[in-house]
Amino acid sequence: MQKRKLGKSNLEVSAIGLGCMGMSFGYGPPADEKEMIALIRKAVELGVTFFDTAEVYGPFTNEELVGKALAPFRGKVVIATKFGFKFDPETRKQAGLDSRPEHIKEVAEASLKRLKVDAIDLFYQHRVDPEVPIEDVAGAVKELIHQGKVKHFGLSEAGVQTIRRAHKVQPVTALQSEYSLWWREPEAEVIPTLEELGIGFVPFSPLGKGFLTGTISKDTQFDKTDFRNIVPRFTPENRKANQAMVELIENFAKEKKATPAQIAIAWLLARKPWIVPIPGTTKLHRLEENIGAAAVELTPAEVGHLEAAASEIAVQGARYPEQLQKLVGR
């Protein structure tokens, strides 16, 4: 597996990372812990050195899983986690945002224990908290970096003004936001800003929450705990309308003797040398397929053809329900 550096930082990771959220949270019931530990360790064997988690996934159980799975590989892998939510102490359910400096420091201590590490490699603010100036957030992470508890600062789903303000206080190593062939909004302002400032980009949902793999149709039934049930883009009507994007990628994949998932990931890798997608999976064959995307080379002409054809397709449905959309791009 090739390596990439996230922006101008010295943080070098595998060209494709592994998003671990779905193993514990978001896409139906949690998967079997032993199986997921084996899957994460197999990813390391296949060359993956970049693993993504967050305290809110579970909550807490995903960090514990990642901590157990990667314990034998300390110092050889990079673990990213996130802060920025508060939880109801009785139900443990998410209860709004909290990026107060004292809370960030508490979260860091708890995450260090769950991940079984001495320092958090990359610590993202999960969502921008409008109640706390971003300068205070960046300052709190800067202190943690000086104390040796955190190595790099990241932001997730932040808007360009926030990125600039944060970066002045503590250089931002990476921005994590959704980006794929069917969600290209970051191209307008975010990607040029990251390029200018030398910040890496970590796209989550590079496969459109599974849709771009070609395995989801209008008739697919999601588990009742699956987050996609509340996503407008995943209503049966929108899934039917959005098959046009999948067909485009499938046709392209046939020409390249690759799978649709591999084309979707290879397209991201071809966009910029500092983009590192983090597809998630709970299945070994999908892990191997996704990692195989690193070997699929797209020429500039192929990238241009794919983008031009994708631009002609009007994707139906918002990527988040309204209340979640309000938390992004601030």
Residues composing the chain = 330
**Alpha-carbon span 230 to 279, nearest angstrom:** 21
Mean pLDDT of 190-219: 98
pLDDT, tens digit (0-9, with 9 covering 90-100), for 287-321: 999 999 999 999 999 999 999 999 999 999 999 99
- What pLDDT score does 90 carry? 87
> Residues of 13-43 as b/e, b for ≥16 C-beta within 10 angstroms?
bbbbbbbbbbbbbbbeebbeeeebbebbebb
pLDDT, tens digit (0-9, with 9 covering 90-100), for 75-106: 999 999 999 999 998 888 899 999 999 999 99
pLDDT, tens digit (0-9, with 9 covering 90-100), for 219-266: 999 999 999 999 999 999 999 999 999 999 999 999 999 999 999 999
Which residue of the set 27, 57, 124, 179 is catalytic? Answer: 57
Question: Could you tell me the strand order of the sheet in which 172-178 lies?
Answer: 18-19, 50-52, 78-83, 120-125, 150-156, 172-178, 200-204
pLDDT, tens digit (0-9, with 9 covering 90-100), for 4-33: 999 899 999 999 999 999 999 999 999 999
> E strands within the chain?
3-5, 12-14, 18-19, 50-52, 78-83, 85-87, 94-97, 120-125, 150-156, 172-178, 200-204
Q: Smallest Cα–Cα separation from 122: which of 33, 27, 10, 240?
A: 10
User: Can you give the residue ranges of every domain in the chain?
Assistant: 3-209+271-296
Residues β-bridged to residue 120: 150
Q: Does residue 320 have an active-site annotation?
A: no
**Alpha-carbon span 144 to 180, nearest angstrom:** 32
143: which 2 tokens? 């202190």
**Alpha-carbon span 266 to 259, nearest angstrom:** 10
296: which 2 tokens? 């699929």
pLDDT at 54 over 90: yes
- What pLDDT score does 172 carry? 98
pLDDT, tens digit (0-9, with 9 covering 90-100), for 112-168: 999 999 999 999 999 999 999 999 999 999 999 999 999 999 999 999 999 999 999
Mean pLDDT of 205-222: 97
Q: Any idea which architecture 3-209+271-296 has in CATH?
A: Alpha-Beta Barrel (3.20)
Residues β-bridged to residue 153: 123, 172
- What pLDDT score does 60 carry? 97
Handedness of CA 299, 304, 307, 310 (dihedral sign): negative
**Alpha-carbon span 128 to 148, nearest angstrom:** 24
Where is 249: in which H helix or E strand? helix 243-256
pLDDT at 283 over 90: yes
- 44 pLDDT band (50/70/90 cuts)? very high
